[in-house]
Amino acid sequence: MKNKYARMNKEEKKQCRTFYYNTPKGKEMKMRLTRLTIIGIIGIIFSIFLVVSGYIAKQINWATWAMAGILFCFSIVFLVGAAKIRLQVLNQYAITKMK
């Protein structure tokens, strides 16, 4: 059953997250995933800031667009990666530990 976590209802998912995040490994994983999510959000905000500040100052060039685009793409990768890892870890926990 590869996607047990996805098949759970809302209350079972909440219970699974609570049980997992109370374990020592779960606390560490939650901290790391939160850090990845925050880095992704800050990256997106900063890339938008680069484009907007360059546009307001009328000094936007191809380097600004390239830097903002690359930063935006990597930030999206961080956010998607954190969500994907979170689902994989919770699914693995649900398969092995939950009834």
Rounded to an integer, the average pLDDT of 37-41 is 96
pLDDT for position 5: 82
pLDDT in tens, 62-95: 888 999 999 999 999 999 999 999 999 999 988 8
In this prediction, residue 99 has a pLDDT band, given cuts at 50, 70 and 90, of low
Domain that holds residue 41: 4-96
Instruction: Write the CA distances from 78 to 26, 38, 40, 46, 58, integer angstroms.
Output: 19, 9, 5, 14, 30
Number of domains composing the chain: 1
> What is the pTM for the complete model shown?
0.83
What is the per-residue pLDDT for 58?
Answer: 85
| Mean pLDDT within 37-56 | 95
Residue 51 half-sphere exposure toward CB, CA atoms < 13 A: 13
